[in-house]
Amino acid sequence: MLVTLEGLDGSGKTTVLERLRADDALPADTAFTREPTDSWYGETVTRSIEDDDADSLAELFLYTADHAAHLTDTVRPALDDGRLVVSDRYSDSRYAYQGATLADSEWFDDPLAYVKQVHEPWTRPPDKTVYLDLDPETAATRSGATNKFETADYLADVRENYERLVDAEPDRFVRVDATASLDTVYERVREAVVD
C-alpha cells in the first residue's frame, strides 16, 4: 500500500514522518521515502528550486524525472515486496505546485490538468493521501520563506490546486487540520496511516 503526505511548505510533513518512523504501530519493514529524492535527479531539482529564474516548464520535467526514477528505484520494488510505502510528497505536489507555477504560461489553459496528464500513463497513484491543510500565511511563516515557493501569495494558489485535487478524489484524501497542535495532527495522521 502506498500512502503519501501532502500539504504546503511548513504544514508539518517532515515532523510527522519522523514520528511515524519511530512508531511501532507501523510494520517494521515500512519504506519511508520522499520527493524530491536524494538521488542526483533530486539534486537537479534542488538546484532548480534555488534558481529564482528557473524555467517553469523545465522545472516541471526535472521534478517529473525525479518521480520516474523514484518509482523505479524505490516505490515499485517496495510495493512488489508487499511493504507499506510512506512518501513525504509525491505526484500531487507536482499537480499543485507546478500547476501554480505554470498558471501564467501561454501554453496551457489548465496547467494542473496538463501536469496530471503527463503522469497518467506511467505513474503509480497513491492508495491514500493525507493532506495537511494549512493557511498560506502560517505556511509561509513556519517554513521561513527560504525558497521562491514559500511566499503566502504563491502558496495560496498551490492550496487552491490541492483543493481541486481533493474535490476530484475525496475517497483518496484524508484531510487533517494542520493548525492543530503537533500531537493532535500526529494522532490524526497515525489513525489514517495505520487504518
SS3 174: strand
Rounded to whole angstroms, the Cα distance separating 74 from 95 reads: 21
On whether 15 is known to bind a ligand per the annotation, the reply is no
- Judged by beta carbon, residue 86 or residue 185, the one nearer ligand ADP is 185
147 binds, among ligand TYD, ligand ADP, none (CB under 5 to 8 A by kind): ligand TYD
CA distance 146 to 113: 28
| Residue (20 or 118) nearer to ligand ADP, CB | 20
Phi-psi region of 131 (alpha: psi -120 to 50; beta: other; left: phi over 0): beta
How big is the site for ligand ADP, counted in residues (CB under 6 A)? 14
9 binds ligand ADP (CB under 6 A): yes
Query: In the numeric block, which cell numbers belong to residue 38?
Result: 536524494
Looking at 6-14, 71-79, 118-126, 165-173, which segment touches ligand TYD (CB under 6 A)? 6-14
**Cα(179)–Cα(189) distance, rounded to whole angstroms?**
13
36 cis-preceded (ω within 30 degrees of 0): yes
CB of 181 to ligand ADP, least distance (A): 6
Distance CA 161, CA 6 (A): 12
Binding of ligand TYD at residue 48 (CB under 6 A)?
no
On whether 8 is known to bind a ligand per the annotation, the reply is yes
Which partner from the list ligand TYD, ligand ADP, none does 94 bind, CB cut-off 5 to 8 Å by kind? Answer: ligand TYD
Please tell me the distance from the alpha carbon of residue 131 to that of residue 166, in angstroms, as a whole number: 9
- Residues interacting with ligand TYD, by CB under 6 A? 9, 13-14, 35-36, 49, 63, 89, 93-94, 97-98, 143, 147, 149
Residues binding ligand ADP (CB under 6 A): 7, 9-15, 142-143, 178, 181-182, 185
Extract the annotated binding site for ATP. Answer: 7-14
